[in-house]
Amino acid sequence: MPDSAPLPNPSTAAPSALGGGGPPRIAGAAGPRPRRVALVGNPNTGKTTLFNRLCGVRSKTANFPGSTVEARVGVCTRGNRRLEIVDLPGTYALDLDLPEARLCRECLEGRMEACAPDAVLIVLDASNLRRNLQFAVAVLRTGTPGVVALNMIDVAARRGLSFDPEALAEALGCPVVPIGARSGQGVDTLISRLDHASTPTRALPAPGSATAQWCDVVVRNSVGGASAVGQASDTLTDRLDIAFTHPVLGLLVFGLVMGGLFSTIFWLAKVPMDLIEAIFAFSSDTVRGAFPAGQLADLLVDGVISGVGGVVIFLPQICLLFFLLSLLEDTGYLARAAFVMDRVLRRFGLPGQAFVPLLSSHACALPGIMAARLIPDRNERLAAILVAPFMSCSARIPVYVLLIGLLLADRPILAGVAFVGCYALGAVAAMLTALLARRTILPGRSRPMVLELPSYKLPSIRSALLGMLDRAFLFLKNAGTVILAIGVVMWWLSAYPRAVPPAEVSSWRAEAALVEGETAEALLRDAAAVERRHQQLNSYAGRIGGVFEPIFAPLGADRQLTVAILTSFLAREVFQTTMVVLVGMDDDADEGRILAGMRNATRDDGTPLFTPAAAAGLLAFYVLAMQCLPTLALVRRETGHWKWPLLQLGWMTALAWIAGVIAYRVVLWSGVT
């Protein structure tokens, strides 16, 4: 994933998470701390690929005390040699006023004890050596013993470049090892050189223009087959860049690539999602059979298993998304796409890097918000995080299908237009909200994006898989635990206090005992449905619905719909499940029966529950409302403060309520029936 910095993560910055304020410990590590090596470099130098090559799965994500950005720490084991590798975030310079540069600077200067290194490993891009050398000089001037990894020598060789590592080492005063992080070439030699890292043996130029004059001389003396500044032309790269960054053709290519990306995600994820759903269904049946009927079984099935399953079912989409995005980034295309989208998004106060978080949010807002870490400017990053949930995610689709089916029954063309309109409405709301935020609470001039276009190269499958696993575990840890707790709480609110079943329930069950076959099954099914509906309306959740009914009545909602709206703040897809229970239907009813049951459902006064106006009001509300508590928890984690998720919740709910009232009134006044 990108070498970029997320916002504060207090949940992992506590001393207890890092061994009482000391260095982060790696699972399985014992005894004295191994030699610690800080891994540094510019973005797009292959630093993360090298870290994955050195440490693999023996790594963890952590925040050092007092820092506001994320780093990764891993253990590299080669025979009897063990190194603790600290993968610091990528930065173009140490003296920048950015969190990632500040963390690197403080670690290398020894001001942050938890990550103070014994040696520094500087990763340079061999195909862009001149600019990378300026960064290497700044790092070596800190006095930390260093080794330089001259990475991507295979890419440089294809461009006609050759190198003299000894001349480069003589100029820098430290060992220089040519490597290919993707293939593993030279990595063992690099590890052995780290044992002998020492402070630079030569005086290096002082900061300023003298460094650039000095780097030109070093490149001319140590690089062959290139111009005086070490640059090689690449005709194919130039031709591809003309196409990928063109104002019109670039947008078309971007649309095709992203369309293929998300089509692939939904297509490939279907099978594992169905498998996960079957596993959790089997688990529910097993628990029901193993425990006697009662509150414990209900808690385990309806609270724990359903709560966890509601999150885990999206894991295949999350994994595929991060895997494919990692491959695209590795090829160098994502930088070109960000450059193209910058022209569009900059008009709304967002940078081109925001296109990945916004597109990712169409699958799920959680990975979209995590992907916002690649945005370097803090205010722009916050704006992207705040508007990402406006994008219609996959969890909204069941609600869209239900409400559009009720609103536009037997009108497939209009239903299709309404479906597209839901996505468009969310995107427009996101852009206008971003514009408003950047003009008020998150001010700042939207400057044209200055972006280095990395070289094109074959992606590393291994690095993409390791990055995917890292993000998948992070997703499960931060989202799964939250929604599990919420699921248990919501189960309790719906299950208590226990309501006495209506008299007809007992009579139907008594009648069922006297008959057989389908008649008995129908009577028992009806009795269970009525009992569920009665329990739901008389539970704490139902009583809360009665209290809040006046708030949602302007949208056309009665007490039952208010209960469904409130419970769906847990997660949007809960709306359909709640309504199935409230109208007294079976949990396993198919889509056709559900729609029919909803159309025939009535309010307490006998009027239809879902009028066209009520369906339209609810549809507009669900397009814009923030109804995903795991997302709020993740926003809290990414921003480091509760004020941002609470602001997000309040703004999106208010905007959704206003849009819902307008839609309800428009349809009501139009006389649509």
* Per-residue pLDDT tens over the stretch 443-453: 987 766 666 67
Alpha carbon distance 535, 376 (integer Å): 51
Average pLDDT over the chain, rounded to an integer: 80
Task: Quickly state the pLDDT bin for 603 (edges 50, 70, 90).
Answer: confident
Closest-CA residue to 315 (of 197, 472, 521): 472
Task: Please determine, for residue 49, whether its predicted confidence score (pLDDT) is greater than 70.
Answer: yes
| 55 vs 158: which has the higher pLDDT | 55
CB 66 within 8 A of CB 112: yes
Tokens of 337: 């796409």
Task: Please determine, for residue 232, whether its predicted confidence score (pLDDT) is greater than 70.
Answer: no
Task: Please determine, for residue 410, whether its predicted confidence score (pLDDT) is greater than 80.
Answer: no
Task: Please determine, for residue 227, whether its predicted confidence score (pLDDT) is greater than 60.
Answer: no
Query: What integer pLDDT is reported at residue 37 of this predicted model?
Result: 93
Query: What integer pLDDT is reported at residue 307 of this predicted model?
Result: 65
Task: Quickly state the pLDDT bin for 16 (edges 50, 70, 90).
Answer: very low
CB 620 within 8 A of CB 603: no
Amino acid identity of residue 17, one-letter, is A
Task: Please determine, for residue 415, whether its predicted confidence score (pLDDT) is greater than 60.
Answer: yes
Task: Quickly state the pLDDT bin for 621 (edges 50, 70, 90).
Answer: very high
Alpha carbon distance 60, 22 (integer Å): 15
DSSP code of residue 23: S
Task: Quickly state the pLDDT bin for 480 (edges 50, 70, 90).
Answer: low
Query: What integer pLDDT is reported at residue 234 of this predicted model?
Result: 57
CA distances from 3 to 6, 55, 173, 215, 264 (A): 10, 16, 27, 25, 25
pLDDT above 70 covers a percentage of the chain that reads 85
Q: Classify 337 as helix, strand or coil.
A: helix
Task: Please determine, for residue 9, whether its predicted confidence score (pLDDT) is greater than 60.
Answer: no
Mean pLDDT computed over 226-235: 48
Task: Please determine, for residue 20, whether its predicted confidence score (pLDDT) is greater than 50.
Answer: no
C-alpha torsion angle, residues 244, 459, 41, 145 (rounded to 10): -160
Task: Quickly state the pLDDT bin for 63 (edges 50, 70, 90).
Answer: low
Query: What integer pLDDT is reported at residue 29 of this predicted model?
Result: 43
Mean pLDDT computed over 566-581: 74
Mean pLDDT computed over 588-604: 69
| 67 vs 34: which has the higher pLDDT | 34
Query: What integer pLDDT is reported at residue 475 of this predicted model?
Result: 67
| H-helix or E-strand spanning residue 651 | helix 643-670
Query: What integer pLDDT is reported at residue 665 of this predicted model?
Result: 94
Strand partners, 125: 151
pLDDT above 90 covers a percentage of the chain that reads 19
Mean pLDDT computed over 656-661: 96
Task: Please determine, for residue 207, whether its predicted confidence score (pLDDT) is greater than 60.
Answer: yes
Strand partners, 122: 40, 148
Task: Please determine, for residue 153, whether its predicted confidence score (pLDDT) is greater than 80.
Answer: yes
Alpha carbon distance 351, 380 (integer Å): 7
Mean pLDDT computed over 268-280: 84
Residue-wise pLDDT for 518-562, tens only, equals: 888 888 888 887 887 788 778 887 788 889 999 999 999 988 889
Mean pLDDT computed over 187-204: 82
Beta carbons within 10 angstroms of residue 289's beta carbon: 8
Mean pLDDT computed over 136-160: 88
Task: Quickly state the pLDDT bin for 1 (edges 50, 70, 90).
Answer: very low
Residue 370 CA, chain-centre distance (Å), reads 3
Mean pLDDT computed over 87-104: 84
DSSP code of residue 299: I
Task: Quickly state the pLDDT bin for 593 (edges 50, 70, 90).
Answer: low
Task: Quickly state the pLDDT bin for 590 (edges 50, 70, 90).
Answer: low
Query: What integer pLDDT is reported at residue 660 of this predicted model?
Result: 95
What's the order of all strands across the beta sheet hosting 59-62?
59-62, 71-78, 81-87, 35-41, 119-125, 146-151, 176-178
Query: What integer pLDDT is reported at residue 21 of this predicted model?
Result: 35
Mean pLDDT computed over 492-499: 82
Query: What integer pLDDT is reported at residue 615 of this predicted model?
Result: 92
Amino acid identity of residue 187, one-letter, is V
Mean pLDDT computed over 342-350: 88
Query: What integer pLDDT is reported at residue 551 of this predicted model?
Result: 94
CB 487 within 8 A of CB 304: yes
